[in-house]
Amino acid sequence: MTPKYRVVVVGMGKRGLHHAAAFQANPRFQVVGVCDTDESRLAAAAAKTGTAISGTNARDVAMAARADVFCFCTMPHLRSQMIRIGIDSGARLIAMEKPVALNSAEGFAVRSLAHGSGVKVVVSHQHRYGEHYQKTKEIIASGALGRVHTVYATATGWMMHMLSHLIDYARWFNDEAPAEWVMAQAAGRGKLADAHPSPDYIGGFVQFANGVRGILECGAGAPDVPEVDYWWRKCRIGAQGTDGFAEVLTGGGWRAVTKSGSWSGGGCMNYDLDMPPYIQQIADWLDDDAKVHPCNFASAYAGFEIMMALCRSVANGGQVALPLTDAADEMRMLRESLPDRPVLLSMAANAKEYPTAQQAKAG
Ligand SMILES: NC(=O)c1ccc[n+]([C@@H]2O[C@H](COP(=O)([O-])OP(=O)(O)OC[C@H]3O[C@@H](n4cnc5c(N)ncnc54)[C@H](O)[C@@H]3O)[C@@H](O)[C@H]2O)c1
């Protein structure tokens, strides 16, 4: 019988529980340790997973378990220290949540730890496993759009939550071509203090090396996707070519128009459906170095650099060349430069999530 890969999961909130459940449900894995600083969450997770090893200190749990996979699903301010724990514990693969980091200085640290250790790293951009994402990718890759000249992505959720996803899927639709430069603008300071710190609204352009233009919009001013009811899933990601377009709505299926006609189909982002293939491909990569996970760190990092470069463009103006060569704290740059004016909303439904805009409107 093939031995199971042993897994430690740190951060037993929403995503940690998703990961633990998906690892447990896959016959190739066994969750052997769980960790959370919150005692009650830890107790509930330990009972649910039935693991022998549990604790509130990630290093202690990881060193006791010495697992094959170190998975952490903590909030975005904890990244390089978790990667270091995973490496020190002897893990062969680290599975982490997006975003890669909150600034490029931290992103550089994460990258150099990952490269220096040789440990495989995957970042959870798992929406791509949705049938509607897969169908959109299939149509784009088939050549039915002719020469693809534009990829685009919008979401009404804010940057540190959503832009990491948007860029990842737009890059995927563009065959992961490297980005050469970006240029961006942003508005609204309300979410700078959030645990996912962000400008309330950011929009920008990406020049990809294959000549394709990327157009990205994320936050309070991004357009509605009226076909989708659930606010967090009002995301539209697609590609346009000389012969048509294909796009996915995170909460509302897919559609395409090409020279041969128009089509649409269903599909909605669903953790229960998206996590199993994401987890299975972790086993595949552990089994075989050639089966590199689609959500591998190098790919996620390329998207992260685009996000940080967009922030630098907001702060400093003009175009920002990629790859980034110097480390910076882009959230500090935004705090120092974003005008103190409330963001203007694209629709009333955004007011609930952007209260500073709402107050400004009422006043
Ligand atoms: N991929 C996706 O679709 C998706 C969806 C939602 C959130 N996320 C990302 O997942 C991450 C976690 O989000 P969440 O919604 O699960 O958050 P959460 O707040 O529900 O869970 C985080 C958990 O980490 C614990 N924690 C904090 N510090 C810790 C430490 N030092 N050691 C151990 N545990 C610690 C907290 O007590 C909490 O239980 C974020 O980076 C977020 O952006 C990704």
**Beta carbon of 124 within 6 Å of any ligand 1 atom:** yes
Average pLDDT score over residue span 118-130: 97
pLDDT digits (tens, 9 = 90+) for 256-280: 999 999 999 999 999 999 999 999 9
Residue 306 confidence (pLDDT): 98
Residue 360 confidence (pLDDT): 47
CA dist 106 and 78 (Å) reads: 10
Q: Which residues contact 290 (CB under 8 A, 6 or more apart)?
A: none
**Beta carbon of 12 within 6 Å of any ligand 1 atom:** yes
pLDDT digits (tens, 9 = 90+) for 172-185: 999 999 999 999 99
- pLDDT confidence band for 358 (50 / 70 / 90): low
Which amino acid residue places its CA nearest to atom 31 of ligand 1? 37
Q: Which residues contact 287 (CB under 8 A, 6 or more apart)?
A: none
Which amino acid residue places its CA nearest to atom 40 of ligand 1? 75
- Report the number of secondary-structure helices (H) and strands (E) in the chain: 11, 15
Backbone φ/ψ region at 361: left (φ over 0), alpha (ψ -120 to 50), beta: alpha
State the pTM of this model: 0.96
Question: Phi/psi of residue 114, each to 5°?
Answer: -65, -45
pLDDT digits (tens, 9 = 90+) for 49-107: 889 899 999 999 999 999 999 999 999 999 999 999 999 999 999 999 999 999 999 99
Which amino acid residue places its CA nearest to atom 17 of ligand 1? 13
CA dist 53 and 360 (Å) reads: 50
Element (H, E) at 360: helix 355-362
State in Å: Cα 262 to ligand 1 middle: 40
